[in-house]
Chain A
């Protein structure tokens, strides 16, 4: 058994990963709530957002300061710039996805299968295009932080990078949760999720809600992409594994449930972190998410929190 410090380190790693999963999972959950559709190309939105944030951070980083490490405020500014740029890129990608893959089908009243197939096509296209334009290698984000410990939690060191990732992700999640709960847009999203026909009759523009849902999911996923790339790296195939894990998180929390996606993401991150350390080889860490997915579908198909998006948040 490991020491308390080890447990705290695993918990921090799990939370950092889980916060990013939750960011992506929110997009799945919102789109599923509104359209009853799993957006199979959501991982690619995440990937494109990562590239957008990465190049923005590269452009913003002063060339000489990379080695020395910029000051604290500059660091925060850089992370914010990268996150915003990632969110913007993700929003554009999600908008394009909705426009190209889903809207033509919606206008033709296509069966559900067509949406899935079209999304797979969009996913193939986006991955290959990113590979073609950005190269087919892993691209690291320029070192925004010299890897230093800023604080210790129960004896475990927390690097500035991890702190930035967790803070930014939790802030975004909170903002998204309040947006859905409080704003007029959030109300219309929930109304459509509850009963699309009735919402339309009451004056909600369905097209606008669908577009807004995709854009909201895209912003979150794109920002999450940049935060993920900060910890690891960006590559054209990066959307696949986090996309599936985030979907697992969404199912774990209850597909269509905003709070559920949040809780599911954090929980999945923790389970993976601890399970990967205590139960399995490091190489099999990705299997844990799949096992969780199957277990949830078997034991509690409605997820932990179960509720639909339409319920009052």
Chain B
């Protein structure tokens, strides 16, 4: 090596600079594809940002909605639009069946429907491709007019003050001179080299000059460019907080989880406004069932209320601990069967020696679900937290299978009948829930508010800060005394407990059988959480209201079996558009911690 990486910039002759290399690759019509991917694997946000800005001129893929299409790339975007249009036609079109598998596809793609979606796809493509140009075209006359107007106004002002045209001041001249000098300077650039032997010229990859460790490891030399006072590039994401800030946040106990960027506090962030907002929302939620029919009330209890509770539980695991739990409905099942075991002698073949009130059974169901969560999470989260998603998915299937087959314990596929509804007896006051969904609605509303309040407390706790630190940088958090496995286990167990509570309410409300707790239900809960914003308390509830409300309103237009098409697409689109919003703001993951995807 001609020089160590610490040597100041004195690039050997003949090495292409980064800018030259970029120009060559661009001329060859080929983006340096190793760069973006490699930057993503290192996980440093800076490298990703560097790769993004480096590749911005190349158009990239058809999915890149926001970026400009380079020349020669329009057909990729066209293809993407047409494929998406065909998929949309398939999704909304008629169904096929096993014997004529192409009936659905041909029915969707042929005829008027196909033409319609083709036109929609073309329109979308034209809009995506033509809009920047169109905007420029429209903007030009406007800019011209405003420019003319500004000049005219300046002239008028100058003439009114003194005679003739205004002379350029000394300051103007000085600034113009310094600008000209700066532009005339040769731009220093990072240099990369030497090329390894046997390397084909076209597949040379550029290294973002932000990450020096690569160069050291691979005997490459990167000549970092000296800082040039250029205009700052627009970062796509705010830079990841440094571990120093992380340390400060942990040590000083600053509220790192919830608060946004410091700035002027808007009126709607003031305590009284927030209180009024909450009161209004609570009032609306309390009053809503009084003005609707019983069918809608049933939906509000079974589909919205229960799912709001479940997604609040899941949001602890997904939004706070940054893990994926696909078995939350299995914990719901455990809660439901526990409640049936405790409250009803006749509901299941297996029952408790003493019968307790359903309201007492609810904490017991929570405890049972939490215990099972602890037992499942303890071996898993110590070393294999990244496998939690698929293990909980398997766990959901196993719970359903056992509930289905253990006829002697759970009653098997027939399900569980006759868990008594809750009843309250305080002194002379006695009230028993009946078939009317209204009291269940208020019970669920109370529980949802309770869990939200508990989560608000969680978000201000040390545990929340520890989780946030873990999500951001596991190693740094460990150094600062955060026990990763323990925090993850805590979050997972808490999520399981909330799901168990939802299960107990479900058991007292209605008949249930193993099919109630299918893995699809878990995925629906995940959809609700993702749609509402994983770290948000209100978002989980609103997600349940909106998604399940839409599913109810559109039940005549969309077959129930097709709902998951839309849910799946929604999850993918929301994740792709705002991947970092899955985790709550501020202290969030800068990237996969150890060489992730």
Query: Interface on A for B, CB 8 Å cutoff?
Result: 35-38, 40, 51, 55, 99-118, 120-129, 131-137, 139, 196-198, 200-208, 210, 240-241, 244, 247-248, 251, 255, 281, 283-284, 286-287, 289-290, 293-294, 297-298, 301
CB < 8 Å neighbour of A197 from B217, B571, B597: B217
Contact of B205 with A200 in the complex, beta carbons under 8 Å: yes
Known contacts A114-B582, A134-B101: does B572 contact A129 (CB below 8 Å)?
A: no
Q: What separation, in Å, do the CA atoms of A104 and B90 have in the docked complex? A: 22
**A residues in contact with B7, CB < 8 Å:** none
Task: Classify the interface of chain A: helix, strand, loop or mixed.
Answer: helix
Contact of A113 with B583 in the complex, beta carbons under 8 Å: yes
Closest 6 CB pairs of A and B: A121-B571, A125-B568, A110-B579, A124-B568, A206-B37, A109-B48
Q: Which partner residue on chain A sits nearest B103 by CB separation?
A: A133
Is B390 in the interface zone, CB < 8 Å from A?
yes
Contact of A36 with B594 in the complex, beta carbons under 8 Å: yes
Q: What separation, in Å, do the CA atoms of A101 and B579 have in the docked complex? A: 11
Contact of A120 with B205 in the complex, beta carbons under 8 Å: no
Q: What separation, in Å, do the CA atoms of A204 and B36 have in the docked complex? A: 13
20 A-B pairs besides A101-B572, A111-B592 with CB distance below 8 A are A36-B386, A40-B389, A51-B101, A109-B39, A117-B318, A120-B571, A121-B527, A122-B568, A124-B567, A135-B98, A135-B101, A137-B97, A201-B218, A202-B218, A206-B34, A207-B34, A284-B401, A286-B398, A287-B401, A289-B394
**B residues in contact with A135, CB < 8 Å:** 95-99, 101
Known contacts A120-B324, A127-B564, A294-B379: does B34 contact A205 (CB below 8 Å)?
A: yes
11 contacts between A and B (CB under 8 A): A36-B386, A105-B576, A109-B40, A111-B322, A116-B389, A121-B527, A125-B565, A135-B99, A244-B393, A248-B394, A283-B404
CB < 8 Å neighbour of A139 from B98, B595, B597: B98
Contact of A117 with B220 in the complex, beta carbons under 8 Å: no
Number of A-B contacts (CB under 8 A): 277
Q: Which partner residue on chain A sits nearest B51 by CB separation?
A: A109
Q: Which partner residue on chain A sits nearest B387 by CB separation?
A: A38
Q: Which partner residue on chain A sits nearest B34 by CB separation?
A: A200
Is B383 in the interface zone, CB < 8 Å from A?
yes
Q: What separation, in Å, do the CA atoms of A101 and B207 have in the docked complex? A: 26
- Give the distance to chain B from A100, nearest Cβ to Cβ, in Å: 7
Q: Which partner residue on chain B sits nearest A286 by CB separation?
A: B401
Contact of B387 with A251 in the complex, beta carbons under 8 Å: yes
**A residues in contact with B393, CB < 8 Å:** 40, 244
Contact of B390 with A244 in the complex, beta carbons under 8 Å: yes
**A residues in contact with B589, CB < 8 Å:** 111-113
Q: What separation, in Å, do the CA atoms of A35 and B38 have in the docked complex? A: 11
**A residues in contact with B90, CB < 8 Å:** 129, 132-133
Is B596 in the interface zone, CB < 8 Å from A?
yes
**A residues in contact with B205, CB < 8 Å:** 200-201, 203, 205
Contact of B322 with A113 in the complex, beta carbons under 8 Å: yes
**B residues in contact with A202, CB < 8 Å:** 196, 199, 218
Q: What separation, in Å, do the CA atoms of A213 and B104 have in the docked complex? A: 31
Q: Most chain-B CB neighbours within 10 Å: which of A105, A108, A113, A251?
A: A113
CB < 8 Å neighbour of A106 from B40, B207, B380: B40
Q: What separation, in Å, do the CA atoms of A38 and B64 have in the docked complex? A: 25
**A residues in contact with B324, CB < 8 Å:** 113, 116-117, 120
Q: What separation, in Å, do the CA atoms of A127 and B203 have in the docked complex? A: 39
**A residues in contact with B207, CB < 8 Å:** 201
Q: Which partner residue on chain A sits nearest B581 by CB separation?
A: A114
Is B405 in the interface zone, CB < 8 Å from A?
yes
Q: Which partner residue on chain B sits nearest A196 by CB separation?
A: B41
Interface size range on B against A: 35 or more
Is B154 in the interface zone, CB < 8 Å from A?
no
Contact of B565 with A129 in the complex, beta carbons under 8 Å: yes
Task: Classify the interface of chain B: helix, strand, loop or mixed.
Answer: helix
Q: What separation, in Å, do the CA atoms of A283 and B572 have in the docked complex? A: 35
Q: What separation, in Å, do the CA atoms of A226 and B197 have in the docked complex? A: 45
- Give the distance to chain A from B525, nearest Cβ to Cβ, in Å: 11
Q: Which partner residue on chain B sits nearest A291 by CB separation?
A: B398
Q: What separation, in Å, do the CA atoms of A105 and B592 have in the docked complex? A: 12
CB < 8 Å neighbour of B33 from A115, A201, A208, A283: A208
Contact of B530 with A241 in the complex, beta carbons under 8 Å: no
Q: Most chain-B CB neighbours within 10 Å: which of A109, A134, A135, A283?
A: A109
Q: Which partner residue on chain A sits nearest B530 by CB separation?
A: A117
Contact of A284 with B405 in the complex, beta carbons under 8 Å: yes
Contact of A297 with B379 in the complex, beta carbons under 8 Å: yes
Chain B, residues 197-238, CB within 8 Å of chain A (1/0): the string is: 001100111010000001001101000000000000000110
Known contacts A107-B61, A132-B565, A298-B379: does B395 contact A290 (CB below 8 Å)?
A: yes
Known contacts A133-B90, A202-B218, A287-B401: does B386 contact A121 (CB below 8 Å)?
A: no
Q: Which partner residue on chain A sits nearest B570 by CB separation?
A: A121
Is B300 in the interface zone, CB < 8 Å from A?
no
Q: Which partner residue on chain A sits nearest B99 by CB separation?
A: A135
Q: Most chain-A CB neighbours within 10 Å: which of B40, B42, B200?
A: B40
Is B538 in the interface zone, CB < 8 Å from A?
no
Q: What separation, in Å, do the CA atoms of A59 and B43 have in the docked complex? A: 48
Contact of B386 with A112 in the complex, beta carbons under 8 Å: yes
List which B417-470 residues lie within 8 A (CB) of chain A.
none
- Give the distance to chain A from B207, nearest Cβ to Cβ, in Å: 7
Is B323 in the interface zone, CB < 8 Å from A?
yes
Known contacts A106-B37, A290-B395, A297-B387: does B561 contact A136 (CB below 8 Å)?
A: yes
Is B247 in the interface zone, CB < 8 Å from A?
no
List which B22-58 residues lie within 8 A (CB) of chain A.
33-43, 45, 48, 52
CB < 8 Å neighbour of B568 from A108, A128, A301: A128
Known contacts A37-B597, A134-B97, A200-B205: does B394 contact A114 (CB below 8 Å)?
A: no
Q: What separation, in Å, do the CA atoms of A134 and B97 have in the docked complex? A: 5
**B residues in contact with A294, CB < 8 Å:** 376, 379-380, 391
List which B297-343 residues lie within 8 A (CB) of chain A.
318, 322-324, 326
Q: What separation, in Å, do the CA atoms of A114 and B326 have in the docked complex? A: 14
Q: Which partner residue on chain A sits nearest B60 by CB separation?
A: A107
Contact of A103 with B523 in the complex, beta carbons under 8 Å: no
- Give the distance to chain A from B551, nearest Cβ to Cβ, in Å: 13
List which B69-123 residues lie within 8 A (CB) of chain A.
90-91, 95-99, 101, 104-105
